[in-house]
A and B are shown apart, each in its own frame.
Chain A
Amino acid sequence: MTERRRPRRSLTRKSAGALADWSVPRQLRGAPDKTKAAESAMSRGLRPRLEQADKVGTSICPYCAVGCAQLIYAKDGKPIHVEGDPRSPINQGTLCPKGAATFGLMLSPQRLDHCLHRAPGAGEWRRVTLDWAMDRIAHLAKRTRDEGYVARLPDGTRLNHTLSIGSLGGATLDNEENYLIKKLFSGGLGMVFLENQARV
């Protein structure tokens, strides 16, 4: 659990010349403790890692619906920190325990980075390519839809729908994603079992 894919703490960086920084000789010389006499090389070079960011982007917290704004600091295509955007009239830079964990969420050691497939009756996952999964899902979706499609009731009333496929989710997704999902699943495929967390 301590295995974390993230930059090392700057305070624990290896530092050369530690012995040279040893402050006892300086203290022996009688330097008071409130001067910089005792400062080590690491302390001298210390800066907040946000300054290393080569990209800063605005984001919105992915947890609850308060809508706290965040700034994501990234370096070399990887996040180096996430914190509250001080400009937001909602959170003014603050974040709750979940929002403050957004960086940890992005870098969770349990994150998945490849597609997995479990065949019927199988006891374990098998790694598959994204392309294979997409093709197979499209094929299954078409087959199941077609098998369950009802065009009209016996009296001729139009139904245009399939009860054979359902979809759950949406409340954690973007508006644009919900729009595409509703458009494709309802407007394109005729799915009616379409729900998200609004009722959960």
Chain B
Amino acid sequence: MDGGLAHPRVLEHTDRDPQKPIPQEAEVTAGCRVEPGRSYGFFTDTTLCIGCKACEVACKEWNNLPADNLGMTGQSYDNTGRLGAHTWRHVTFLEQDARATSMPPFQSNWLMMSDVCKHCDPAPCLEACPTGALFRTEFDTVVVQQDICNGCGYCVPACPFGVVELAKEDGKAHKCTLCYDRLKGGLEPACAKSCPTDSIQFGPVEELQRRAEARVTDLHEKGQPKAYLYGTPGAPGTGKGLHHLNAFFLLTERPELYNLPPAPARPARNARPSLLSGLATIAGLAVAAALVGVGRR
């Protein structure tokens, strides 16, 4: 009987309740320590997704993001629409043959995928950023530093996935930080930690890639021949200047069905053009400095 067995390190915290966050809690919840200098990302396995949106809620609750309140869209069970300044995890729903009675194992006939910033390598948004607000962290994730962003918006069209958006409230660019603050404290990002079925897995990218390859093989053997990866080196979702995505996906249908571009392109070749445009914006720095003080509600 082995349901619910605890990680060995949990046993250090059973005699008395934790008075502080469990050190390197990610080791307990995700099976990895979080250490600067390594590349971290998400492996989102859509075949395990139940479309519950725990990731959306956990993200908003952790990051204190407001509800967008789009109202009912009529698009299956999706009422948050797309990734945006306030929605950093978004579950896409696609109803297929919902009259089927016999299905390949794991998710079928009603596709659900939790989308997120891809934390690309290289990252076109970062390359387009004239101020250096967008930067690559010590965890190899891509983050908008709110104390620097001046809201120029160059990153928005640069993103091949339509992830980055300027918020109405502060005019600055916002997107998933891969829970940068949590990583600094050894915590798994909020979405991955909450995910009830481990459809969202957090870890070192190379390890996740290995795990994902094995999962694809496993699914092929179990009767889901359409499983493939999106965003690993050489796979769909890369090429055209993108080497790999630190947040990558296991899909069973064409990328377009999940609202993912089949061949995302990197608009900028390298950092130089943005740097020059950045220099041109120096004049706007006073404005930027003023905005830094505003903060978001």
Contact = CB atoms under 8 A, between A and B. Distances in A.
Given A46-B180, A46-B181, A97-B52, 12 more contacts: A9-B63, A14-B292, A18-B148, A23-B148, A33-B126, A33-B136, A34-B136, A47-B185, A48-B182, A81-B62, A83-B194, A101-B57
Interface string B177-191: 101111011011010
The 6 closest A-B pairs by CB, nearest first: A23-B132, A89-B4, A38-B135, A48-B185, A2-B66, A15-B147
B295 interface: yes
Contacts of A103: 61
Contacts of A99: 54, 194
B21 A51 contact: yes
Nearest to A90: B4
Contacts of B187: 48, 50
7 contacts: A3-B297, A26-B132, A36-B138, A39-B135, A41-B147, A43-B145, A103-B61
A86 B10 CA distance: 8
A167 interface: no
Interface string B157-201: 000000000000110000001011110110110100111100000
Contacts of A57: 17
Interface range for A: 35 or more
A122 interface: no
Interface in A1-35: 1-4, 6-15, 18-19, 21-24, 26-28, 33-34
A2 B4 CA distance: 37
Given A24-B132, A43-B137, A96 B196 contact: yes
Contacts of B126: 33
B105 interface: no
Interface of A: 1-4, 6-15, 18-19, 21-24, 26-28, 33-34, 36, 38-43, 46-51, 53, 56-58, 71, 73, 81-84, 86-101, 103-104
B22 interface: yes
A87 B22 CA distance: 10
B64 interface: yes
A6 B60 CA distance: 13
B21 A46 contact: no
A97 B66 contact: no
Contacts of A83: 58, 190, 193-194
Contact count band on B: 35 or more
Given A81-B62, A101-B57, A14 B148 contact: no
Contacts of B136: 33-34, 38
Contact of B185 (A19, A27, A36, A51): A51
Interface centre among B53, B56, B181, B293 (most CB of A within 10 A): B181
A13 to B, nearest CB: 7
Kindly name the residue among A15, A26, A73, A90 whose own CB sees the greatest number of chain B CB atoms within 10 A.
Answer: A15
B194 A6 contact: no
B146 interface: yes
A46 B29 contact: no
Contacts of A86: 7, 10, 22, 25, 28-29
Contacts, number: 195
B6 interface: yes
Contacts of B66: 1-2, 4
B131 interface: yes
Nearest to A15: B147
Of A14, A15, A36, A43, which is in contact with the most chain B CB atoms at under 10 Å from its CB? A43
Identify the interface centre among B52, B138, B145: most chain A CB within 10 Å of its CB.
B145
B146 A87 contact: no
A120 B40 CA distance: 62
Interface stretch (B213-221, B249-257, B271-279): B271-279
B289 interface: yes
A100 B148 contact: no
A80 B47 CA distance: 34
Interface string B43-82: 0000000001110111011111011010000000000000
Interface in B4-32: 4-7, 10, 13-14, 17-22, 25, 28-29
Contact of A40 (B18, B147, B295, B297): B147
B67 A1 contact: yes
Contacts of B52: 96-97
B240 interface: no
Contact of B184 (A14, A18, A48, A53): A48
Contacts of A3: 297
Nearest to A51: B185
